[in-house]
Structure formats: C-alpha cells, structure tokens
C-alpha cells in the first residue's frame, strides 16, 4: 500500500479526466438529440438537410478567420508553453507554473469549444431553420429564423 | 484454445456487457439499412452528418484498437516524449489541412479522394489514386489487432478473433454503409474512452498520487526526447504524420458533413479531443510502468492490462467492448472506403459511366465482402503489423500527396501529365525503397523496425524503413515538376474554374 501524497498534479489530472468525461457525455447527449430530431424524419422531409452552399453562398468565405486565430493561439499556448512547463518543473522546481499552465490550457480549450458550439448552433438555426440543441436546453434561439419549411437560408 | 488475461480480470457481468454491445451494433446496422436509398446515402450518409456525429465518427475511426496496444506501448516504454514529438505533427497538420485544404475541397462537391484527382489531372491519375486509396484501406492491420485482442483476452488464435470481429463489422457496414458506421462510431467512441479515462483517477488513488508514480518511473520517461535522439523522432514520427494529408477516412467524413462549416468545426473539436485523450494515454503509460516496471509485461499489452487491472467489474466490460469498438470502427470505415474505391472510383467512373445507382450500390456491397476476404488473406502474408501499415501509408502518401497539394498550392505551369507522372513515379519509388530496405536492411527488434546502413562516399547513412515517405515524396515532387514542364499546359481559365475557391 502506498502512502497518499496527493498534490496539485493529482487534482489537475482528476479534474481533467472528469472534464473529458463530461465533454464526451455532452456530445453524446447532443448526438442523441440530433438523431431524434434530424434523422428520424419521415421520407420527403430530408431535403432540408442539404446545405444551401451550392445555391450562391459567398464562396470567398470558406476561411473562418476567427476560428483560425483561436486555434493558432491555442496551439501556441498548449505547445509553446510546454517547454516553459518542463523547465519550470524539472530545472527550476517552480511547480506553481505547472498549475498555471494547466489552468490556462483548460480555460482556453473551454473557450474554443464554446465558440465552436455556439457558432454551429447559430448556423443550424440560421441556415437550416432548425431548433438547435442550445434552444432545446435554454429555450432561447441564437438567431432569428430565416428559413421556415424550406425557404432559402443565409449562411452563418 | 487457451485462456487469456480476460479469465482473470473480467467478470461474467463484463462479458454480458460485451455481448450486449455486439447485439446493439447489429440492430443499429438494421436501423441504418432503412435509411439507405441510394449510393450517396451509403457512401457519404446523404451528406447530412451533423457536428456531434462527425466528431464521434472521426474519433472512433482515427483511434483504432491499436491505440491501446502499439501506441500505448510507446507511452509505456518512452513516457512523456510522445507529448512533445510524437503527437504535435499530427495536430499541426490536421489544423492546417482542415482550414486550407479540406474546406475548399468540400465546397467543390466531390465524394472521394480520386474524385479530386480526376478533377485536376484526369482519369489516369484517378485510377492511381483509387488503387493507392484501396491498398491503404484494406484493413489488414486492424484485423491483426482484432486477433491480438481476442488472443490476449480469451486465448483464441489470432486468425479466429480477426474472423469473428471483422465479420461482425462487415455485417453492419453491409447493411447501412456510412449511416451505420457513423452512428455506431459515436457510441463506440464514448465507450472506448470512458473506460480509459476512468482508470486514471482510480489508479492514482491506488498508487497514492503522481508523486509515488513518478518516483517509480525512470528519468528518461520524463525527458522530452525519451530514449531517442531528436533526429530519429523528427525523421520517423513526423514522416508518419504526412499520411494525414491524404487519409481517406477524413476526406469521406468531410464530404459527408452537411456543409463545409460544420465539417471544419467538427475537425477542430476532434483536435481538442485529441489534446485531452492523448494526455490521458500518456498518463496511463506512466502508471503502467509504475505498476509493471522494467518491461515486466510485453510492451504492447502493458497499458491494456493496467487499465483492466484498475477498472472495477462492470466498467471493465464497458472498456473491453470499447476496445472491440475501436477496432471494428476502423475495420468498417476502411472496408467501406476500399470497396467504393473499386466499385465507384474505378468501375463506375472509368469503365462503366452508365452504371445505375442501384447497381453501384449493389456492387459496393459485393466489394465490401471482397475487401474483407482479401484483408483476411493478406493477414497471413504480412507477419508484422507495423510493416503493413508502413507500406500502406507510404503508397497512398506517395501517390496522392503531391498532386493534391500541387493542385492548390503549386504556383507555376501545371499539366495533367504532371499529376499522373507524380503518382506513377511516387508509387514505384515506394515499392523500390521498401523492397531494398527489406532485402538489404537489418531488423532492430527493440524499435520494431528495419534499418539499412548505406555507405555513401565514406559516410554511413542509416536508412530506416519509416523514412520511405521522405524519399517517395521528394521523387514524386521531382516527377511532378518534370511532368508539368513537358505535359500540355492546362488552360489557365479552365484551371481557375477547377480550383474554384483557391
């Protein structure tokens, strides 16, 4: 039997594991919501599933610059600072920097995922005129519907 | 038949859960069968996949069962170095190709990798691309992994495990195509990772925390380079990440999304998940060493055994079903794409353009079975898993990477001949390099590779089997330049139209 010597490393690991499990659970629930609302439609209703991008969407907007900037910051943060983490802990023994590092990484990934989910729900409501998972959870729509029952939509 | 570790670590309740998983997958296949009306439903799920389904299917098909054996074995033997040099090239390439390559291709409306090659370089390049993609997708490695899992758990012969697991995956793929694959993938993804993640806090408590675990690990496990030199890591592992650029499963998912924005977001969410689950696997690798130090277990089985050791009854079954799920999700994905490479990309698009939707769908189902039978046969020809993967990845990379990237990013004169020559010469260079290394090289058991020592002007150069990608890519690039120079240049206006969004 080992002596229990829990410190910040253990608490961060457990927090990270719980967070990842919650994230998987969240996507699983969203998946079942989509399965129920979008893929059990009766025949003939599935035409609205298709994107209207071929119908004249602004082709120059293929690049989502906001998302790209967020992702680039994230990559730099997670991996650029990894070496700071390594030297802080192994060479200078400043373990509080490791705590700060994991907190920053976790916070940033949370912001990135929140941005992606909100963008997607807005996109679903605006482009496809659907009830998004966000709307199901909160009762509030992110966008005014522009496409009811097959009308042409505008991309988010 | 003998008995594997499953007889000691897995309770009857767990086996009931595993059986329930297999039955559940079959019923999902039946549900998906009713949704398939035409070929596009079968191959790209009617281009209707939403973000959560895409995330699940991407994660499940990318992390095949070998993740818990070969990849996890690397964490067990090398520790945290994977965090620095093994994973980052994958993350970076995935982000770049999602933003700058796949999004543009999705808007063009193609449904397969060879479709893209034909759009830019004509039917001959399509043919080479389809052959390369088919060869890559023949799930030999995944069937071998399936055999390993059955062998480790139940003591079954590997061929029997591969036959049973593979046949089940092929059954529901036959029924529902990508619909069945995508829906089962989401459930498989959740099962596969929940077990791994749960094992970490349980093991931490059992060991008394990270301080005890790290004290039991050797210094090189905490070194960013592990026991390798940086050149080896850069040369070997960065090369393997290049396959991402032409990974057919990723292209299929991108084309199956309801639109390019949803697809892009799903890919970025997938990278976020990679960041989480890869760190967790590194943690399990360190815990495995603390539990079974000094290579007390075979490298490939250490992490799997550690996870089973710490998970309680009930959750173990969940995890074992998840491991089967990981393997089956990759077998089903690749079998489907490989079958479509023959039925759609070659037969329909090159030889029989007037083939009806119904006949194409029927032919694809026949090819799913044929691809599985071929894979099963090839299992007995290739003795080592890594060599199969290496050859498959190198062929597809050498055939498709340069033409695909050149189509969008090569700023000078282009011709259809350039793309065709690049694919042909890249393919030949790969075969020659691998054959030379296998004939003249020496196996290195500790690193599971073959190295050929060549003396060039008095300097000894070590040519690893894994470096084939660098050689074939350079040769393919030279062929692309030469071919573009001598081939009939494409009409610039036509080419601009083909590039569409560039």
- Which residues in chain A touch residue B325, judged by CB atoms under 8 angstroms apart? none
pLDDT score, position B386: 63
Inter-chain Cβ pairs, chain A and chain B, closer than 8 A:
163
Q: Does A86 touch chain B (CB under 8 A)?
A: yes
Q: Which of B225, B265, B271 to mutate to test the interface with A (most CBs of A within 10 A)?
A: B265
Q: Does B35 touch chain A (CB under 8 A)?
A: yes
Q: Which of A47, A55, A56, A71 to mutate to test the interface with B (most CBs of B within 10 A)?
A: A71
Does the pLDDT at position A74 exceed 90?
Answer: no
Share of residues in chain A with pLDDT > 70 (%): 60
Does the pLDDT at position A149 exceed 60?
Answer: no
Q: Which residues contact A122 (CB under 8 A, 6 or more apart)?
A: A132, A142, A143, A156
pLDDT score, position B496: 61
Please tell me the distance in Å from B421's CA to the nearest CA on chain A. 31
Any idea what DSSP says for residue B212? H
Does the pLDDT at position A42 exceed 60?
Answer: no
- CB-based contact B380:B456 (threshold 8 Å): no
pLDDT score, position B483: 92
Give the residue on B whose Cα is nearest the Cα of A33: B52
pLDDT score, position B501: 47
pLDDT score, position B481: 93
Question: Do A64 and B261 count as a contact with CB atoms less than 8 A apart?
Answer: yes
Give the residue on B whose Cα is nearest the Cα of A128: B258
Q: Does A4 touch chain B (CB under 8 A)?
A: yes
Q: Does B53 touch chain A (CB under 8 A)?
A: yes
Please tell me the distance in Å from B183's CA to the nearest CA on chain A. 9
Q: Does B366 touch chain A (CB under 8 A)?
A: no
What is the pTM for the complete model shown? 0.81
Distance CA B431, CA B294 (A): 38
- Which residues in chain B touch residue A30, judged by CB atoms under 8 angstroms apart? 51-52
Helix or strand run (H / E) with residue A43: none
Please, where are the H alpha helices in B208-259? Answer: 210-216, 230-241, 248-256
Distance CA B352, CA B348 (A): 5
Question: Do A5 and B212 count as a contact with CB atoms less than 8 A apart?
Answer: yes
Mean pLDDT of A99-107: 77
pLDDT score, position A25: 92
Distance CA B432, CA B471 (A): 10
Strands, sheet with B459-464, edge to edge from the N-terminal-most edge strand: B442-444, B449-456, B459-464
Per-residue model confidence as pLDDT tens digits over B318-376: 788 777 777 877 887 788 888 888 888 888 888 888 888 788 888 888 888 899 888 88
Kindly tell me the burial class for residue A42, based on how many C-beta atoms sit within 10 Å of its own C-beta (0-12, 13-18, 19 or more): exposed
Distance CA B129, CA B420 (A): 9
Question: Do A109 and B261 count as a contact with CB atoms less than 8 A apart?
Answer: no
Query: Residue A152 to residues A43, A47, A54, A148, B109: CA-CA distances in angstroms?
Result: 20, 12, 11, 9, 19
Q: Does A120 touch chain B (CB under 8 A)?
A: yes
Burial string for B471-484 (b: 16+ CB within 10 Å, else e) reads bbbebbbbbbbebb
Tokens 């001598």, residue located: B486
pLDDT score, position B404: 87
Does the pLDDT at position A120 exceed 80?
Answer: yes
Question: What are the structural domains, with CATH classification, of chain B?
Answer: 6-499 (1.20.1730.10)
Question: Do A49 and B201 count as a contact with CB atoms less than 8 A apart?
Answer: no
Give the residue on A whose Cα is nearest the Cα of B192: A24
Which pair of tokens denotes residue B150?
């059955």
CB atoms within 10 A of CB B27: 10
Query: Mean pLDDT by 10-residue block, N- to C-terminus, for chain B (502 residues)?
Result: 56 79 78 69 72 87 71 78 74 84 72 83 88 87 80 79 84 73 80 84 85 83 69 63 79 82 89 84 86 78 81 79 78 84 87 83 86 86 68 85 85 86 92 88 73 82 80 92 86 60 46
pLDDT score, position B234: 62
pLDDT score, position B284: 86
């Amino acid at each position: 039997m080992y002596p229990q010597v829990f410190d910040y490393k253990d608490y961060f690991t457990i927090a990270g594991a719980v967070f990842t499990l919650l994230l998987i659970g969240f996507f699983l629930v969203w998946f079942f919501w989509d399965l129920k609302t979008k893929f059990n439609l009766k025949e003939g209703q599935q035409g609205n599933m298709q994107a209207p991008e071929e119908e004249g969407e602004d082709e120059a907007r293929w690049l989502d610059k906001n998302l790209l900037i967020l992702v680039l910051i994230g990559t730099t943060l997670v991996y650029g600072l990894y070496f700071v983490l390594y030297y802080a802990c192994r060479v200078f023994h400043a373990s509080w920097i490791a705590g700060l590092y994991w907190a920053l990484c976790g916070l940033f990934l949370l912001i990135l995922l929140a941005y992606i989910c909100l963008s997607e729900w807005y996109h679903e409501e605006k482009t496809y005129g659907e009830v998004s998972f966000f709307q199901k959870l909160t009762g509030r729509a992110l966008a005014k519907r522009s496409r009811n029952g097959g009308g042409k939509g505008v991309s988010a | 038949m003998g008995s594997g570790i499953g007889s000691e670590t897995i309770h009857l309740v767990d086996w009931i859960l595993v059986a329930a998983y297999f039955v559940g997958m079959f019923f999902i296949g039946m549900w998906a069968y009713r949704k398939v009306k035409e070929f596009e439903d079968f191959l790209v799920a009617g281009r209707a996949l939403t973000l959560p389904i895409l995330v699940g299917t991407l994660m499940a098909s990318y992390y095949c069962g070998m993740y818990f054996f070969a990849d996890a074995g690397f964490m067990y033997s090398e520790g945290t170095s994977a965090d620095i040099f093994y994973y980052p090239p994958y993350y970076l390439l995935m982000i770049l190709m999602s933003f700058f390559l796949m999004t543009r291709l999705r808007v063009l409306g193609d449904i397969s990798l060879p479709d893209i090659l034909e759009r830019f370089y004509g039917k001959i390049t399509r043919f080479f691309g389809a052959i390369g993609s088919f060869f890559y997708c023949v799930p030999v490695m995944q069937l071998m992994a399936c055999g390993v899992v059955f062998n480790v758990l139940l003591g079954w012969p590997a061929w029997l495990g591969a036959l049973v697991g593979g046949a089940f995956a092929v059954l529901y793929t036959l029924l529902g195509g990508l619909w069945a694959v995508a829906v089962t993938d989401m459930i498989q993804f959740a099962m596969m990772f929940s077990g791994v993640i749960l094992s970490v806090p349980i093991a931490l408590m059992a060991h008394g925390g990270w301080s005890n675990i790290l004290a039991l690990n050797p210094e090189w496990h905490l070194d960013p380079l592990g026991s390798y030199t940086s050149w080896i890591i850069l040369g070997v592992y960065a090369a393997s990440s290049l396959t991402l650029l032409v990974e057919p499963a990723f292209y299929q998912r991108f084309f199956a999304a309801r639109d390019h924005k949803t697809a892009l977001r799903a890919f970025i969410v997938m990278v976020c998940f990679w960041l989480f689950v890869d760190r967790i696997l590194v943690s399990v690798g360190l815990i495995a060493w603390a539990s079974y130090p000094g290579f007390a277990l075979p490298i490939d089985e250490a992490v799997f055994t550690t996870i089973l050791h710490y998970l309680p009854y009930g959750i173990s079954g969940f995890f074992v079903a998840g491991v089967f799920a990981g393997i089956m999700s990759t077998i089903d994905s690749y079998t489907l794409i490989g079958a479509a490479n023959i039925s759609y990309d070659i037969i329909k698009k090159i030889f029989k353009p007037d083939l009806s939707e119904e006949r194409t769908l029927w032919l694809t189902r026949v090819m799913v079975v044929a691809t599985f039978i071929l894979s099963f046969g090839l299992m007995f020809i290739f003795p080592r898993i890594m060599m199969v993967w290496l050859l498959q990845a190198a062929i597809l990379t050498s055939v498709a990477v340069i033409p695909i990237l050149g189509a969008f990013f090569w700023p000078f004169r282009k011709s259809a001949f350039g793309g065709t020559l690049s694919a042909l010469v890249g393919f030949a260079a790969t075969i020659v390099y691998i054959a030379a290394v296998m004939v003249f090289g020496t196996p290195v058991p500790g690193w599971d590779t073959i190295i050929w020592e060549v003396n060039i002007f008095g300097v000894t150069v070590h040519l690893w089997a894994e470096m084939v990608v660098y050689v074939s890519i350079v040769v393919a690039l030279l062929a692309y330049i030469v071919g573009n120079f001598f081939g009939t240049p494409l009409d610039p206006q036509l080419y601009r139209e083909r590039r569409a969004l560039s």
